[in-house]
Structure 1
Amino acid sequence: MHNEPADPAPPINLVDPGLYSHGDPFVQWSWLRANEPVYWHAPTELPGFWALTRYEDVRTAYRDAETFSSAQGILLRPDGHGADPGGGRTLALTDAPRHRQLRGLVDEWFAVRSVRALEHEMAEITRGIVDKALDQGSCDFVADVAARVPLYVICKMMGVPESDWEYLYDLTSQAFAAGDPLTRRFAHLNILGYFETLQAEKAVRPADDLVSVLATAVVDGERLSPDDVILNCDNLLVGGTENTRIAAAGGMLAFLGHPEQWRQLAADPALLPSAVEEVLRWTSTATHIMRTAVRTTEIHGKKIEVGDRVVFWLPSANRDETVFDAPDSFTITRKPNRHLALGFGEHFCLGGMLARVELRLLYGELLGRSVRVELDGTPKLLDSIVVNGPERLPVKLTAG
């Protein structure tokens, strides 16, 4: 059973970015789970939508791709911005059968066998990043550690020359962390421009990498258009870096706030797999995922019409008290831990295994070298309704 209804209701505004940087969204989510698990969120500068906050409702909707479509976009955006340009064209923004066709092109690269084969090189990348951070002493764990591990790894998989990794690191840092919208847009256009050039090169001289796979792919008897290749490259770069970066940093922030859990992990490194799962549940970095109803349905007596937006609030689902014991406790031994941080159903995160290995290698490297991590300033959380977690995490790293 869910909590007894809380009264009075808190003000509900899940689309205020400041709620995630300076407030406590869990107060609103907890009340909604107990009282209005299918809640009509009135329009603001963003369109109105149905908010789903319970685990089982989110899981069921994720699985029902015939009712809830991804092709109209998976994130809330102002109506004035028009349709998402990736709609119906990228892995994240397609429905069956095209989703399965696109996913089939790259699935093998993210399978357990392929990720395991890359693990030695991933470990070397991680070691080099930790070495550099230790040399600095004081650093921003987000920018100097957590952001670089997944970016360098996905760049390697995509066939980006190592000489260009820092260039893409600078662009992605501007595109996803800078406060100025013009700076973000300019950086994003440069990322697209980079992949326009790279995919053209790979189409002529393909190699053993993800960009070559896309640049030479044939779907329904036709080559993917250059624009589709570029959009999917951008999708892979973002998907392969952003959430892992924030999860890695958010996990470290959680360990700093729960030092007994870090000590327990140091004493028993065999707990790393379950610790990684708890980091993923606890951080739930994708704050919301949107679907659009393509047929009328009903959830808990609320009628959802064709064209209605339905938004899954993943951090809320992953704190659902009917599914997780003591959900507001960060516990690295938690089992079972069937969180939804990496999605569910057809759109389960393509890079889920990769993210798990990257987190395990990063924390394992720090633990294996007895690196002491201490706060060296005040963390700053992201001002965003799309992803949540640290924007900056100033730390001091000391070799053991």
Structure 2
Amino acid sequence: MTLLAPETVNLVDPELYATGDPYPVFRWMRDNDPVRWHGATEYPGFWSVTRYDDIRTVYGDARVFSSAQGILLRPQGHGQDPGGGRTLALTDPPHHKALRTLVADWFTTRSVRALEDAMREAVRAVLARAVALGECDFVTDIAARLPLYVICRLMGVPEHEQEMLFSLTSQAFGAGEPETRSIAHQQIMAYFVELMYRRMDEPADDLVSALVNGEVDGEMLTEEDILLNCDNLLVGGTENVRLAVAGGMQTFLDRPADWERLRSDRSLMPTAVEEVLRWTSTATHIMRTVTEPVMLRERQLEPGDRVVMWTPSANRDERYFENPDAFDIARRPNRHLALGAGEHFCLGAMMTRTEMRILFTELLDSVHSIEQTGPAVPLRSIVVNGLESLPVRITAK
């Protein structure tokens, strides 16, 4: 099929992802203009990078393609990202490595395995609650709860305070009114201020204590840096799993034969998880800022230029994936970029995969049927790709 040049397509229009279809646009760009200038709108102008190999090149050179000026497009009137150069996601080497080392022990294979039994118990409780409700929203009532439980546990949030934090994060990162989201986010930050001071007085074996008492480059983090990193960990520790699991469940509901195939052959679970990650590609875009003149493909990029990598495009690149527009739970190889690459490869990748495996396994083991009871509502976002809600009825075995 021949596609027309998408001259009139606005890649920073949320409706393109909520109600449109960006994949033909990305396909045309990969074939005809893989490093393409996108003029300024309410967002600054940027270079769009859509091919898998070019995106890996950008990810792989943190010196030339910096994270310190922000990793997401921001409206021009919003100024610089306040976390720039200060949080795990928004720093470059060597500062990034030093900051990552502070928290890395909580995301090792050994640490993740130690949490597996607790994760299963949490999922069983979540599913029992969903069954009791009869009809529920798969996104908020199921997919969002396990990752929040895990990151709260790692950060040292007491169990009796987790439901309150769940309610606030649902408001802050949901699709409600901007004022409601802003107030909820301020309340989350106020909570972490209190938790930070608690850990200053009484250190514990958790992530917040590591940030409070650790040193980076021989200096302790400022209070503002601690809070920014708490916020970064909370969002990073929940968004990927929530959106990937919900999007994966919708895909299985649309393709029941794949769900039954996975039920009958659990050896497919690892490849199914990877395919859900590729298929959902929950980070719609990731940005870098050029630090010195560089050629990318045939384009000359200058210092200060923004480079936007479109993850869903990379993960459908025909040059790298056979039949990329097909959902294949047995796909091998599957070296997708849903969890990033290079210096900023997702710190919680092992945790993400484990949470998804346990959640899907428990759904297969303990649920008789999952029936979609209404239309799925997609998020209106250029930042994350996924569902705002997915109404379902769950019946226990």
TM-score range, shorter chain: over 0.9
Answer yes or no: is 1:380 the counterpart of 2:390: no
**Residue type at the aligned position of 2:226:** V
Q: In 2, are the aligned partners of 1:69 and 1:292 still within 8 Å (CA)?
A: yes
The CA deviation at 1:6 is 3.4
Determine if contact 1:258/1:330 at 8 Å carries over to the other structure.
no
Alpha-carbon distance change, 8 to 46 in structure 1, aligned in 2, over 3 angstroms: closer
| Aligned residue type for 1:222 | E
Structure 1 distance, partners of 2:184, 2:250, is 28
**Cα RMSD over matched residues?**
1.1
Tell me, what secondary structure is at the counterpart of 1:164? Answer: helix
Question: Does residue 306 of structure 2 align to residue 319 of structure 1?
Answer: no
Corresponding residue for residue 241 of structure 1: 238
Q: Deviations over 1:227-261 (max 9, x none)?
A: 11111011000000012101110000111111111
Distance 1:82 1:220 in 2: 28
Matched-pair contact (CA < 8 Å) for 2:273–2:356? yes
Counterparts of 2:170 and 2:23, CA distance in 1 = 28
Q: Any conservation in 2 of the 1:373–1:398 contact (CA below 8 Å)?
A: yes
Partner of 2:138: 141
Counterparts in 2 of 1:171-186, with a 5 A limit?
171-186=168-183
Contact 1:287 1:314 in 2 (8 A): yes
Deviation at residue 134 of structure 1 after TM alignment: 1.1
Aligned to 1:284: 281
Q: Partners in 1 of 2:306 and 2:180 — Cα distance?
A: 29
Q: Supply the distance in 2 between the matched residues of 1:45 and 1:179 (Cα, whole angstroms).
A: 21
Residue 259 of structure 1 corresponds to which residue in structure 2?
Answer: 256
In structure 1, how many angstroms separate the alpha carbons of the residues matched to 2:107 and 2:27? 35
Matched, 1:126 2:123: yes
Contact residue 125 and residue 153 of structure 1 kept, 8 A: no
1:179 offset after TM fit, Å?
2.7
Report if the CA contact (8 A) 1:20-1:384 is conserved. Answer: yes
> In percent, how many aligned pairs have the same letter?
59
Aligned partner of 1:307 among 304, 307, 311: 304
- Aligned residue type for 1:284: S
**Which of 156, 160, 168 does residue 157 from structure 2 map onto?**
160
1:73-109 deviation line (CA, Å, top 9, x unaligned)? 0000012211111011100000011100000011111
- Counting matched residue pairs gives 397
Report the alpha carbon displacement of residue 32 of structure 1 after superposing the two structures with TM. Answer: 0.5
Q: Which residue of 2 aligns with 1:392?
A: 389
* 1:90 pairs with 2:87: yes
1:9 and 1:252 map into 2 onto residues whose CA distance is 31
Task: Specify the alignment match of 1:344 in structure 2.
Answer: 341
Alignment of 1:75 onto 2:75: no
TM-score, normalised via structure 2 length: 0.98
Distance in 2, matches of 1:249 and 1:334, equals: 20
Match of 1:354 in 2: 351
Task: Return the alpha-carbon distance in structure 1 between the equivalents of residues 392 and 238 of structure 2.
Answer: 21
How many Å separate the matches in 2 of 1:132 and 1:341? 30
Whether the 8 Å CA contact 1:10–1:28 is kept in 2: the answer is no
| Residues 1:201 and 2:198 are matched in the alignment | yes
Q: Is the 2:26–2:313 contact (alpha carbons within 8 Å) kept by the matching residues of 1?
A: yes
Letter in 1 for 2:43: L
Residue in 1 aligned with 2:292? 295
Are the aligned partners of 1:319 and 1:328 in contact in 2 as well (CA < 8 Å)? yes
* Distance across 2 between alignment mates of 1:207 and 1:55: 42
Q: How many Å separate the matches in 1 of 2:136 and 2:250?
A: 14
Measured after TM superposition, the shift of residue 55 of structure 1 is 0.5
- Equivalent AA in structure 2 for residue 306 of structure 1: P
Letter in 1 for 2:371: E
Q: List gaps (5 residues or longer) in structure 2.
A: none
Match for residue 65 of structure 1? 62
| 1:187 maps to which of 176, 184, 188 | 184
> Any idea what SS the aligned residue of 1:291 has?
strand
- Counterpart position of 1:269: 266
Gaps of 5+ in 1: none
- SS of the aligned residue for 2:115 comes to helix
What is the CA deviation profile of residues 162-205 of structure 1, one whole-angstrom value per residue up to 9, with x for unaligned ones?
Answer: 11111111111111113311111111111111111101110110
**Can you list the C-alpha shifts for 1:136-156, whole angstroms capped at 9, x where unaligned?**
121000010001110011101
Q: Which residue of 11, 15, 19 maps to 1:22?
A: 19
Q: Is the 8 A contact 1:378 1:393 kept in 2?
A: yes
Give the AA of the match of 1:65: A
Q: Offset of 1:12 from its aligned partner?
A: 2.3
Q: Aligned in 2, Cα 1:39/1:370: closer, same or farther, shift over 3 Å?
A: same
Of 369-378 and 142-151, the range deviating more from structure 2? 369-378
Offset of residue 215 of structure 1 = 0.9
1:212 aligned partner: 209
1:26 deviates by: 0.6
Conserved in 1, the CA contact under 8 Å of 2:107 and 2:347? yes
Counterparts of residues 40-59 of structure 1 (less than 5 Å): 40-59=37-56
Q: Distance in 1 between matches of 2:175 and 2:385?
A: 15
Q: Give the aligned residue type for 1:162.
A: E
How far 1:10 moved relative to its partner?
Answer: 5.9
Cα separation, 1, equivalents of 2:264 and 2:67: 44
| Native 8 Å contact 1:5 1:34 kept in 2 | no
Once the two structures are TM-superposed, the CA of residue 119 in structure 1 deviates from its matched residue by 0.8
Deviation of 1:37 (Å): 0.3
- Equivalent residue letter for 2:172: A
